[in-house]
Structure formats: structure tokens, C-alpha cells
A and B are shown apart, each in its own frame.
Chain A
């Protein structure tokens, strides 16, 4: 790729990525449209425009491979939208292949690698589709159309005209006066209104304007409705609607109008960018709307969030000064400062919320990618899959979305491969032929829940245990003592896969253990439920954002520590006398259930506060998914919103901390990694020793 500044490169990649995602969404919509038996020309058009824009972008940035693919893809899409090629599943397969190829090319460009990418096969297939293109005969001559108009039809408009005639639509001419200053807007509105009745195929200036400020256009429209309806809906003072009558049938087709790249009357609106010609006015419109948004590097938002954190420290200093003034008897000044302090506090809160809001993106971003994967895999393995997505609008931190794609993809692959039975197998047990995978997202308090659910055969517990025993992860006697949930949790062990052979789809050595690791890196947990013969449901619980979290501030030994509230279920008073020793481990009973204890000061070898039996202490109950752990602490300070900063690389080997945060007074407090602590302390309790080794 040509030499570019880093910033321009970043822009290029994110823009290209966005376009490819748009293209992928379009293809998916086309896929469902075809399945429903609908043909929607606007979808093919959008796909065409996406590829066209990508081609321009590739040219601009000297990305030759991207350009070459776009060029060929554009030809095929052009054939499709002009009706020269029939759109079917096989063609869609090739188009989806092109999306994959785009992704690979983009990755290679990003890595600055000149590695040969095997896209030849794809090119051959694109060629093959193009070769099947046919030229249609024109029934257009049946209508008394103005030859001047016909001469300037673009190939696409001509195709739409033919298609509408084929659908037995009636043609109308609308002669409309436009004010030059508002023509763009009014024309768009007319097109929009016309959609209810049919479509506006083209327009051409008549050259008979009544004043210098107006322009008169002839609009060619196809509609299923009669003239009276149209006049009722579109008619106005400046609009004259006429029906275009059919000619008496003639035996020979009229000569095809020559292929003209641009309709004359519109040259002014697209003339500046001749390469956009095929996209026409609509594209110019979409370019305008894009200027409403800006692309921002997430690191810049992190930086802003840091500044908010520092301002919060300034705010506390304000508060202290106000206190001091009051102490010195300066009541009036103190009250004034206190008021400023409160005002500052409120605004700062708004700013923090604002920045957080900017970081939020809908989960739909990643769900779209998954829909593509589902389609691809289901065709590869020959299982019919219905993907049902709910809650795609649920918002979550951009950083989390990026990291979710791989784990979710893996879960879905597992569901298709291991979960959903092959077609005949489903029919035999009375299930519908098409398997269903549901992808549900919703917000629950400060968390986002994502469920991946299938209606397949469920996890075979016996086989799972057998496999774990074969792999030496546990002994047969240990297996017998395990509860159902414990057995289900075995799927998170490395190397476990209930399929015997590694195949194309899953079982390639990376499995649910990687999924679980990735999810916990995001501060989330994953739970499994499975019913034999009914299906499997995996639930991921994630924090909404990584940038700012509510935390409980506690004192342990001489340390002030923070525990993210998302992993705290409650805090209770600690009574030394209630502690029981089970197998050398301290536990208490909380509402009839055993709660393992962990004395933070001992675990962390903190300098302990001087011991006194009368001093009140507390138990903070940390809970993640099904597992709970009581942390014995010396004092509870209360709740605070904190910005967690990771510990430096030199401390990466230190376990038990998620990072650190500023506490005000320039002091830094460590943030406990509740998931890590629970894992560490409970590993020896809930699972046999061999499991501890396997998961450690």
C-alpha cells in the first residue's frame, strides 16, 4: 500500500471495514428477501453502491487487491441490478465469499503483508456469473414514450422500466415545477411519497421553466394505481399528472437506446465526481448525511475519561477547601464555594455520562457478523438453521463489542455442529426440520446479558464425563460425586469436545475454555443450561462498560481496596463465632447456605490492623454466576464510581487485582479482581484436585 500517514490509514481501514459490514448486511437482507420470495431492487442497489464506494476508496489509497476485487464484484452486482443475471442462492454464496475475501484482504493490508491471498477461485466464480448475463428484449416500445427521454435513460433506469412493465404497471408522466433552492429536498420527498404507489424511474428537465428561480421536470413513474389515486396523493398546483398510453402492439422491438453513462439532465448534480455516475443522486444524498457523524479513536475517549477522573479529584479538593473555610469561621465564603462545588459535581457527572454514551454501540454490530457466519456454516454442513435475533439494539461498550465477536462465533459454531441435529434426525424426534438458534441480548441493571440458545439435542452429560475421564481430567469416582452443574461446567476444560473427530466447523482444539477465558477478561461470566433432547442455552453476563464502574471501597489491613459492585451481592456483619472449619477451610452459614470465607489480609499477606475481638468486621459476599465467596474485611467505606486503570506490564504476573484507581488526595487504591479471587480460593473446594490443575 502507498505510504500514508497513520491517521489516514486508520481512517481508510475503519471506513473500508464499515462499508464491508454494510455490504454484508445487505446480502443478508437479500438472502431473507429471496427466501420470502420478494425481489427488492433497492437492496441490490445498496450493495452495488457499497462496492462502488469501496472501489473508489481502494483507488484513493492504492490498495490494489481491494480494488481488483471491488472491480469484478461491481460488474457482477451491476449485472444483477440490471436484471442480466438472476439472483439465486448460488450467486449469493459467491457474494458472501467476496465479503470473506474482503475481510482477509483488509487484514493483510493492515498487517502490511504482501502475502498471496487465494482469491483466484472467487474471481473465476465471479467471471462465471458474469458470463451468464443475458440481454433482454425491450417491451418499452409498446408505450408512447418521448424518444428524448428514452435516449437518456441509464442502463439501470431502463432495466427498472422494463421490470415495471413486466409487472403490468401503468406508466405516468408527472410534470412538476420545482423551486431551484429546494429542489433536492422536494424531489426526495416526492420519491418517498411515490413509493407507496410504485416508483419514479427517471426525471428530465423540460426546459420550460416559468421563471428563473424554478425548473420544470418530467418525472417518469410506474404505478399499480390509477390516475385518480395518483392525483389524489401526489397532485398539487405545480404538479400535472398524465397517463402514458400504450401503443398499438407492433411486431418488432424498438431499437435499444444507446448505453449512456449519464442522463443529461442530471449531469449538474453529479458532474463533479464523474466516477459516481452510476450511483446517481441517491449516492450524493447519502454522502451528505454521513457528515453528521465523526469517527473517533476509542483511545481519545479513554483520554477524556482520564481527564474526567482528574477533575473529580479537583472537585474533592474544592470540597475540602470549603470545609476548611467553614472551620475557620468564613461561613459565607464556605457556603458559596459549597454551591460551586455542587454545581461542578453535577456538570462533571453529566460529562462522564456523555462520554460513556459515546462509547456505547449496539450489539447489532457483532450480531450482523454472526448472521453471516450462521448462513455460511449452515450451508457448509447442510443443516437448515433459522437465526432469531432479539435485542440487537442493546448497547454496550465499544471495546467489549470488539472482543465479543470471537467467543460468540465459537459458541454458535458449537451450537450448529454439536447442538442442532442433522435434518432427518430432527424430523424423527418431532422437531421442525430447520434448527433454531436464538441470539438474545438485553440489559439487566448494570449488566448486559447475551443468550445463545439452540433447540438441538442438548449436551450429552455421560459422554462429557467419559471424555473428561479419558483425558485424565478426573477419575471415575470423582465423576460419580459431581452434581449436574459441575458436569456441565466440564465443557470449559481445555481439550474437551464431545465430537470425536476434528472437523471443519468446530473441535479444532480451541474450545469453550478459550471462550470462558475471553469472557472473563471482559469481566463477564458464562453459564450453561442444557436439557437432553430440548436444547442448550449459554448465558453471558457482561458489564455495560469497562471505562467506569461502581465499586465498594473497603479497608483490609492497612489497605484501601475497591471491589466492583457488579461482583458484590451483599455485605454483612462478621461474627468470628459463626465461623466453622470444614476440611481446614473457614465457612459461615448464610441463609441456610454454606459460604466459603477468605480473609483478605491473610490471603494477600497484608499488614494486619491491630487485632481486637470487640472491633466490628464485615463480610463482603462476592458472587459471580453460581459461585459465592465471603471476603472478610475490616471496614466498609461505601460506594464510589471509579475509573479502573490496568497495572503496568511489570506487574502483570500479580494475581488478584483488576487494576488500580485514584481515590482522591493523590492516593491510589487497588481494585480487586473478584472473578480471579473466587477462582483462586474456590478452585480447591468445588472441583476435585485434578480439575484445579487442569484449569490452573
Chain B
């Protein structure tokens, strides 16, 4: 269970027997904040291929692209989360995940960081951290090594 990416601080915060199961999250940046989605929910990380805009599509849809022959609808996560819009940089990536319908959806993010492992006691559930009236997209707040990570529920983000 040794994990070099975890800092002393988080190791101090850990109390023996109270950690709960450890989950892995992919950390990425979006509009200056750090977000995380559970690693098992992500099928693939892509450099954005050319994306074709779809007229008349819902506002959060960037367009469609082809991933090795599979037609994928790409969503702009900034628009879904109602964040300020900005053009992608060369660090921009697409996360592929499955919607509740089984459809494969791409999510546009600013930059992919790395994988963090969070024990149950390092995750604040959304309701207790932010109060009851919180978006269905947010699972909770992750606090690895003094960082602040907004944990998203990928299936509901890509389905909504």
C-alpha cells in the first residue's frame, strides 16, 4: 500500500483503522479549479481530434468526432458546469466515458494532471461539504495532501 505520491500531511491525517477503502481519481484542471473523476469511469484520454460542430445541438455539446471509427459526442465541461468559457490550449484533452445510456461521450477539459488515491476519510460527501442543494454532478470534495479537489460523478455529468 506504499504510495509515494501521498504527502506527509495526508499520511498524518490518516488514522489507523479509520481509512476505509481507497479509490483512485483522475485529477484534471478546468477554469482554474482542480477536479477529479473516478479512474474506473474513464475509458481513455485523448488529444482532441478535429471536432465537427453540430448545428441545433444542446448548448453544452461541442460537436462530434471520430475515435478510431466510433462516432463520439463531445461535451464542453465548462458549459455543463456553467463555468467561464475559454478556447482550448494545447494541453486540452478529451476524457472518454460512458453515459447511463451506454453511449460513449467525450468531455473536454483544460489539462489532465495525475491520479490520486483517496481514502474514504479524505472525501467529504457533497451534502455535508456544500449543503443539501448541490448539483447532482458533484460527488464530494477530495482533500489529498492539502489540495482541494471537486469530485464529479462522470455518468451523471455525461448524461446530463
Residue in B55, B56, B103 whose beta carbon sits within 8 Å of that of A650 in the complex: B103
Q: How far is the CA of A667 from the CA of B63 in the complex (A)?
A: 12
Contact, CB under 8 Å: A654 / B57: yes
> How far is the CB of B71 from the nearest CB of chain A, in Å?
4
Q: Which of A45-53, A231-239, A656-664 contacts B (4 or more CB under 8 A)?
A: A656-664
Let me know if A559 is at the binding interface, CB within 8 A.
yes
Interface size class of B (residues with CB under 8 A): 20 to 34
Residue in B55, B69, B72 whose beta carbon sits within 8 Å of that of A604 in the complex: B55
Q: Known A650-B99, A668-B64; judge A645-B71 contact (CB<8 A).
A: yes
Residue in A309, A605, A649, A667 whose beta carbon sits within 8 Å of that of B55 in the complex: A605
Set of chain B residues within 8 Å of A650, measured between Cβ atoms: 58, 61, 73, 75, 99, 101, 103, 105, 158-159
Most buried by A among B55, B99, B101: B55
Total A-B residue contacts, Cβ distance less than 8 Å = 79
Set of chain B residues within 8 Å of A201, measured between Cβ atoms: none
**4 closest pairs, A vs B, by CB?**
A604-B55, A668-B52, A648-B73, A645-B71
Set of chain B residues within 8 Å of A606, measured between Cβ atoms: 55
Set of chain A residues within 8 Å of B56, measured between Cβ atoms: 604-605, 654-656
Q: Known A645-B71, A650-B73; judge A660-B64 contact (CB<8 A).
A: yes
Set of chain A residues within 8 Å of B65, measured between Cβ atoms: 666, 668
Set of chain B residues within 8 Å of A653, measured between Cβ atoms: 58
> How far is the CB of A578 from the nearest CB of chain B, in Å?
27
Let me know if B49 is at the binding interface, CB within 8 A.
yes
Let me know if A118 is at the binding interface, CB within 8 A.
no
Contact, CB under 8 Å: A670 / B52: yes
Most buried by A among B69, B73, B75, B105: B69
Residue in B55, B61, B66, B103 whose beta carbon sits within 8 Å of that of A666 in the complex: B66
Q: How far is the CA of A653 from the CA of B53 in the complex (A)?
A: 15
Set of chain A residues within 8 Å of B58, measured between Cβ atoms: 650, 653
Set of chain B residues within 8 Å of A194, measured between Cβ atoms: none
Q: How far is the CA of A660 from the CA of B57 in the complex (A)?
A: 14
Q: How far is the CA of A366 from the CA of B158 in the complex (A)?
A: 41
Let me know if A214 is at the binding interface, CB within 8 A.
no
Set of chain A residues within 8 Å of B57, measured between Cβ atoms: 651, 654
> How far is the CB of B57 from the nearest CB of chain A, in Å?
5
Q: Known A665-B50, A669-B52; judge A648-B69 contact (CB<8 A).
A: no
Other than the given A660-B64, A662-B69, A665-B50, 6 more pairs (CB < 8 A) read: A649-B101, A649-B103, A650-B101, A660-B52, A666-B49, A669-B52
Within B135-159, the residues touching A (CB, 8 Å) are: 158-159
Let me know if A91 is at the binding interface, CB within 8 A.
no
Interface of chain A, helix or strand or loop or mixed? mixed
Q: How far is the CA of A657 from the CA of B63 in the complex (A)?
A: 13
The total of chain A residues at the interface (CB under 8 A) is 29
What are 20 contact pairs spanning A and B, CB under 8 A? A309-B69, A310-B69, A559-B52, A605-B55, A647-B54, A647-B64, A648-B64, A648-B73, A648-B105, A649-B103, A650-B58, A650-B73, A651-B54, A655-B56, A660-B52, A665-B50, A666-B49, A666-B65, A668-B50, A670-B55
Let me know if A306 is at the binding interface, CB within 8 A.
yes
Within A626-675, the residues touching B (CB, 8 Å) are: 645-651, 653-657, 659-660, 662, 665-670
Let me know if B91 is at the binding interface, CB within 8 A.
no
Within B105-148, the residues touching A (CB, 8 Å) are: 105
Q: Across the interface, name the chain B residue whose C-beta is closest to A656.
A: B56
> How far is the CB of B18 from the nearest CB of chain A, in Å?
41
Q: How far is the CA of A345 from the CA of B36 in the complex (A)?
A: 46
> How far is the CB of B74 from the nearest CB of chain A, in Å?
10
> How far is the CB of A313 from the nearest CB of chain B, in Å?
9
Set of chain B residues within 8 Å of A559, measured between Cβ atoms: 52-53, 55
Within B10-60, the residues touching A (CB, 8 Å) are: 49-58
Let me know if A381 is at the binding interface, CB within 8 A.
no
Let me know if A190 is at the binding interface, CB within 8 A.
no
Set of chain A residues within 8 Å of B159, measured between Cβ atoms: 650
Q: How far is the CA of A649 from the CA of B69 in the complex (A)?
A: 17
Let me know if B68 is at the binding interface, CB within 8 A.
yes
Contact, CB under 8 Å: A668 / B53: no
Q: Across the interface, name the chain B residue whose C-beta is closest to A657.
A: B54
Set of chain B residues within 8 Å of A694, measured between Cβ atoms: none
Q: Known A606-B55, A650-B99, A655-B56; judge A310-B68 contact (CB<8 A).
A: yes
Let me know if A685 is at the binding interface, CB within 8 A.
no
Contact, CB under 8 Å: B68 / A660: no
Residue in A310, A646, A651, A660 whose beta carbon sits within 8 Å of that of B61 in the complex: A651
Q: How far is the CA of A140 from the CA of B92 in the complex (A)?
A: 91
Q: How far is the CA of A666 from the CA of B58 in the complex (A)?
A: 24
Q: How far is the CA of A665 from the CA of B101 in the complex (A)?
A: 30
Q: Known A649-B101, A650-B103; judge A660-B53 contact (CB<8 A).
A: no
Q: How far is the CA of A306 from the CA of B71 in the complex (A)?
A: 11
Contact, CB under 8 Å: B68 / A666: no
Q: How far is the CA of A559 from the CA of B101 in the complex (A)?
A: 29
Set of chain A residues within 8 Å of B54, measured between Cβ atoms: 647, 651, 654, 657, 670
Q: How far is the CA of A307 from the CA of B69 in the complex (A)?
A: 8
Set of chain B residues within 8 Å of A651, measured between Cβ atoms: 54, 57, 61, 64, 73
Residue in B71, B75, B158 whose beta carbon sits within 8 Å of that of A647 in the complex: B71
Contact, CB under 8 Å: A667 / B73: no
Set of chain A residues within 8 Å of B68, measured between Cβ atoms: 310
Set of chain B residues within 8 Å of A668, measured between Cβ atoms: 50-52, 63-66, 71
Set of chain A residues within 8 Å of B71, measured between Cβ atoms: 645-648, 659-660, 668
Within B92-106, the residues touching A (CB, 8 Å) are: 99, 101, 103-105
Q: How far is the CA of A306 from the CA of B63 in the complex (A)?
A: 21
> How far is the CB of B132 from the nearest CB of chain A, in Å?
28
Q: How far is the CA of A258 from the CA of B92 in the complex (A)?
A: 86
Q: How far is the CA of A575 from the CA of B32 in the complex (A)?
A: 51
Q: How far is the CA of A201 from the CA of B53 in the complex (A)?
A: 73
Set of chain B residues within 8 Å of A649, measured between Cβ atoms: 99, 101, 103
Q: How far is the CA of A458 from the CA of B135 in the complex (A)?
A: 61
> How far is the CB of A467 from the nearest CB of chain B, in Å?
36
Q: How far is the CA of A172 from the CA of B118 in the complex (A)?
A: 91
Q: How far is the CA of A646 from the CA of B56 in the complex (A)?
A: 16
> How far is the CB of B100 from the nearest CB of chain A, in Å?
10
Q: How far is the CA of A605 from the CA of B73 in the complex (A)?
A: 20
Q: How far is the CA of A669 from the CA of B51 in the complex (A)?
A: 10
Set of chain B residues within 8 Å of A654, measured between Cβ atoms: 54-57
> How far is the CB of B137 from the nearest CB of chain A, in Å?
15
Q: Across the interface, name the chain A residue whose C-beta is closest to B100.
A: A649
Q: How far is the CA of A667 from the CA of B57 in the complex (A)?
A: 18
Contact, CB under 8 Å: B61 / A667: no
Set of chain A residues within 8 Å of B72, measured between Cβ atoms: 648
> How far is the CB of B72 from the nearest CB of chain A, in Å?
7
Q: How far is the CA of A135 from the CA of B54 in the complex (A)?
A: 75
Q: Across the interface, name the chain B residue whose C-beta is closest to A646.
A: B71
